[in-house]
Amino acid sequence: MTVHIGAEQGQIAETVLLPGDPYRAEWAANKFLSDVVCVNKVRGMLGFTGTWRGNRVTIHGSGMGMPSLSIYANELIRDYRAKTLIRIGSCGGMQDSVKLRDVIIAMTASTVSTPSRGIFKELNYAPCADYSLLETAVASAKSRGVSYHVGGIYSSDVFYDERPDLTNEMERHGTLGVEMEAAELYILAARYGVRALAVLTVSDHLKTGEALPSADRETSFGDMVEIALEAAFPST
């Protein structure tokens, strides 16, 4: 057990899928995994371990925002020895070409700040996805025939943005979407020598104002879950 995760040693798999929403973790575990066991309930941040095509997988909520993700990712990596961490999140679309329910596979994540800012000081570190996960996720998205995009996203510290000037610059520089966790996940993965990726589904759009209801964010993003699983366990 750790401060924030009640699982016993051995109850967390080496591969962990990380939705922000703990109820999405519960939905995805019950829908896609077999032999599912709930391994964490501390603070309502649900985690489940099961198997997918014979491979052990944990699906665990990360909460919203990089400080929360950082707590869970640190404990999963340092205390439970997680080796592959894939965020399965919702995001806001930032380009006209990006539509509601499209999948975004995040190559890199820009930020204003992260919990690691204190370490990097004046350095603008470029957080990036693990290439092997990225490559297999793209192949999976392609073979599933979903509408997907690969490129840079923005990991924001705020959901309610007060800096439209920055949003404009982000859009102008091709940023595909905005969410709130991937950059710190990529940084922690680099620090501890593990693999990370973020596969996102567009739940709303900054330019059109469209938005999916919260029930859809919780339970309707199956393609991104299967893309994440296929990325972690590519069939050879």
Ligand X SMILES: O=P(O)(O)O[C@H]1O[C@H](CO)[C@@H](O)[C@H]1O
Ligand Y SMILES: O=c1cc[nH]c(=O)[nH]1
- Would you count residue 204 as binding ligand Y (CB under 6 A)? yes
Question: Residue 15 and residue 21: Cα distance in Å, rounded?
Answer: 18
Q: Known catalytic residue: 204?
A: yes
Identify the residue among 49, 203, 223, 228 touching ligand Y (CB under 6 A).
Answer: 203
The answer to whether the CB of 177 falls within 8 A of the CB of 94 is yes
Q: Stretches 86-94, 162-170, 182-190, 225-233: which one binds ligand Y (CB under 6 A)?
A: 86-94
Comparison of 26 and 179: residue with beta carbon closer to ligand Y: 179
- Would you count residue 184 as binding ligand X (CB under 6 A)? no
Q: Stretches 44-52, 101-109, 111-119, 175-183: which one binds ligand Y (CB under 6 A)?
A: 175-183
- Would you count residue 217 as binding ligand X (CB under 6 A)? yes
Question: Residue 192 and residue 79: Cα distance in Å, rounded?
Answer: 12
Identify the residue among 92, 115, 127, 152 touching ligand Y (CB under 6 A).
Answer: 92
Q: Kindly state the number of chain residues that form the binding site for ligand Y, as judged by CB under 6 A.
A: 9
Q: Consult the annotation and say whether 226 binds a ligand.
A: no
Residue 204 interface partner, choices ligand Y, ligand X, none, CB cut-off 5-8 Å depending on type: ligand Y
Residue (of 146, 162, 127) closest to 200 by Cα position: 146
One-character DSSP codes across 106-163 = EEEEE-S--TTHHHHTT-----B--HHHHHHHHHHHHHHT--EEEEEEEE-S-SS---
Question: Residue 197 and residue 193: Cα distance in Å, rounded?
Answer: 13
Q: If DSSP codes are grouped into helix, strand and coil, which group holds residue 49? A: strand
The strand pair at 84-93 and 195-205 is best described as parallel
Site string for ligand X, 5-24 (x = CB under 6 A): --------------xxx---
Q: Which of 157, 204, 216, 223 is catalytic?
A: 204
Question: Residue 126 and residue 106: Cα distance in Å, rounded?
Answer: 13
Q: Consult the annotation and say whether 56 binds a ligand.
A: no
- Would you count residue 137 as binding ligand Y (CB under 6 A)? no
Catalytically active residues, by annotation: 204
Positions in the binding site for ligand Y (CB under 6 A) = 90-92, 159, 178-180, 203-204
Q: Would you list which residues are annotated within the binding site for phosphate? A: 20, 24, 43, 87-90
